[in-house]
């Protein structure tokens, strides 16, 4: 077993050399925001979609755009609005008078990295079309089904403070996002650097570091990363603590949870932890990887009761209690 782990670690060390160059390219444009960049790379190396939540002006869109430039793939930004139609997203059938036949006109969803900007501004019909693409990796136009090219990632943004003219995302769709990130303000020194860069004449040029084929290969290596049975049990305990908290000495949170985490939580905890190990040049997962990524995987998968809302207890508070209580292997 140890020789297998050593072999995987050597492979990871060999294949992860591009990470420093990739970080350097992204750093030409993005100042700070290490947390957001790290999680977007986790998404890229696992194929999981990401929901970014933060007030306007925190470089959410700019970071996604910069990442797409540093990766040699097709990128599309789709601005979600209340009048957006499914056809605006996936495409439609158009009648060709020359051939007297209907032809398929593909929409912007046919790209590798999709930035769904202000995703919660569009109604249910659009969300259902996006949900098919996110989950099944294909779309249906008329009677035809078209498969989307890998890698395919949806990186969606939403504004937490502006509720007028927005539609809450269905729980089934929110659960499809591997990670939900809470983006915060830069530090004063970071903001000073941002101000200087944006107001200067120099514009950084981003060069592609990695191709779509290489990303597919990296995803295969990430899945090879070793995870011990004790660490797997730790994940199961964390997810089960949201369902039967009294078994883990957490009876006080039982009345605060309206619905617990689904099995996607445990699947994504493993994948995200493996990606974390890859980025740290390790061929094995540690409990610390689970704790690092845990909040982003779980915060949107636990529904809180009216009692919790009345006491101003959030899903994040519940996740913190679980991580504090569940025994680390």
Q: Is residue 180 domain-shared with residue 37, that is, in the same domain?
A: yes
Is residue 9 situated within a structural domain? no
Closest C-alpha to 150, from 46, 253, 67, 229? 46
Q: Does 238 share its domain with 201?
A: no
Question: Of 237, 311, 283, whose CA–CA distance to 15 is shortest?
Answer: 283
Q: Within 10 A of 104 (CB to CB), how many other CB atoms are there?
A: 13
- The mean predicted confidence, pLDDT, of the chain is 87
Mean pLDDT for the stretch of residues 141-160: 86
Please state the separation of Cα 92 from the chain's center in Å.
28
198 and 287 housed in the same domain: no
State the residue for tokens 């680390």: 328
Last residue of a domain, one of 215, 233, 248: 215
Q: Which of 105, 170, 172 is nearest to 139 (CA)?
A: 105
Flag whether 271 is in a domain.
yes
The whole domain housing 277 covers 225-325
Q: Residues in the chain, how many?
A: 329
Residues 101 and 234 in one domain: no
Q: Give me the CATH number covering residue 151.
A: 3.40.50.300
How does DSSP assign 89-145, residue by residue?
HHEEEEEETTTTEEEEEE-TTSSSEEEEETGGGS-HHHHHHHHHHHHHSEEEETTEE
Same domain, 209 and 243: no
pLDDT per position as a tens digit, 263-303: 999 999 999 999 999 999 998 999 999 999 999 999 999 98
pLDDT recorded at residue 26: 86
Q: State the pLDDT at residue 234.
A: 95
Q: What is the 8-class DSSP label of residue 226?
A: B
Dist CA 283 CA 12 (whole Å): 6
Please write the tens of the pLDDT for every residue from 111-122. Answer: 999 999 888 888
Query: Given a cut of 80, is residue 315 above it in pLDDT?
Result: yes
pLDDT at 161: 57
Domain containing residue 307: CATH number? 1.10.8.80
pLDDT in tens, 66-89: 888 888 888 999 999 888 888 888
Residues 198 and 262 reside in one and the same domain: no
Identify which of 1-5, 86-90, 192-196 has the greatest average pLDDT. 86-90
Of 191, 215, 239, which residue is a domain's last? Answer: 215
CA distance 41 to 46: 9
Q: 81: burial class by Cβ within 10 Å (0-12, 13-18, 19+)?
A: middle
The pLDDT value recorded for residue 320 is 93
Report which of residues 234 and 20 the model is more confident about.
Answer: 234
What pLDDT shows up at residue 53? Answer: 87
**Pair 189, 252 in one domain:** no
What is the pLDDT averaged over residues 303-320?
90
220 in a domain, yes or no?
Answer: no
Tell whether 63 and 202 lie within a shared domain: yes
pTM above 0.95, yes or no: no
Identify whether residues 109 and 196 lie together within a single domain. yes
Closest CA to 39 of 199, 130, 153, 162: 153
Same domain (yes/no): 179, 310: no
Domain count, the chain: 2
Is 130 within 8 Å of 80 (Cβ atoms)? no
Do 264 and 184 sit in the same domain of this protein? no
Is the Cβ–Cβ distance between 134 and 43 less than 8 Å?
no
Provide the strand spans (E) within 244-327: 257-259, 303-304
Domain boundary (215, 250, 267) is at 215
DSSP string, 160-222: SS--TT--PPPHHHHTTEEEEEE--PPPHHHHHHHHHHHHSS--------EEHHHHHHHHHHH
287 and 236 fall within a common domain: yes
């Amino acid at each position: 077993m140890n020789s297998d782990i050593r072999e995987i670690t050597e492979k990871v060390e060999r294949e992860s050399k591009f990470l420093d160059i990739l970080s350097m390219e992204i750093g030409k444009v993005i100042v700070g925001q290490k947390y957001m960049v790290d999680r977007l790379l986790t998404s890229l190396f696992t194929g999981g979609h990401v929901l970014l939540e933060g007030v306007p002006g925190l470089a959410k869109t700019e970071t996604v755009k910069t990442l797409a430039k540093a990766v040699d793939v097709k990128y599309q930004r789709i601005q979600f609005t209340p009048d957006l139609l499914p056809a605006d997203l996936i495409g439609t059938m158009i009648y060709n008078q020359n051939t007297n036949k209907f032809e398929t006109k593909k929409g912007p969803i046919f790209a590798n990295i999709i930035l769904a900007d202000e995703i919660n501004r569009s109604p249910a019909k659009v969300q259902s079309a996006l949900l098919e693409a996110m989950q099944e990796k294909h779309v249906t136009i008329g009677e035809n089904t078209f498969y989307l090219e890998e890698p395919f990632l949806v990186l969606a943004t939403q504004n937490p403070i502006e509720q007028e003219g927005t539609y809450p995302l269905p729980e089934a769709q929110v659960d499809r996002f591997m990670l939900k990130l809470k983006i915060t303000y830069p530090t004063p020194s970071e903001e000073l650097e941002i101000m200087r860069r944006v107001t200067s004449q120099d514009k950084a040029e981003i060069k592609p570091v990695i191709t779509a084929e290489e990303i597919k290969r990296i995803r295969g290596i990430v899945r090879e990363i070793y995870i011990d049975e004790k660490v797997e049990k730790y994940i199961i305990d964390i997810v089960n603590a949201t369902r039967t908290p009294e078994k883990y000495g957490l009876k006080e949170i039982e009345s605060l949870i309206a619905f617990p985490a689904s099995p996607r939580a445990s699947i994504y905890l493993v994948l995200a932890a493996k990606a974390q190990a890859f980025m740290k040049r390790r061929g094995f997962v540690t409990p610390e990887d689970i704790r690092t990524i845990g909040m982003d995987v779980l915060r949107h998968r636990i529904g809180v009761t009216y009692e919790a809302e009345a006491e101003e207890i959030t899903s994040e508070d519940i996740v913190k209690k679980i991580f504090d209580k569940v025994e680390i292997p």
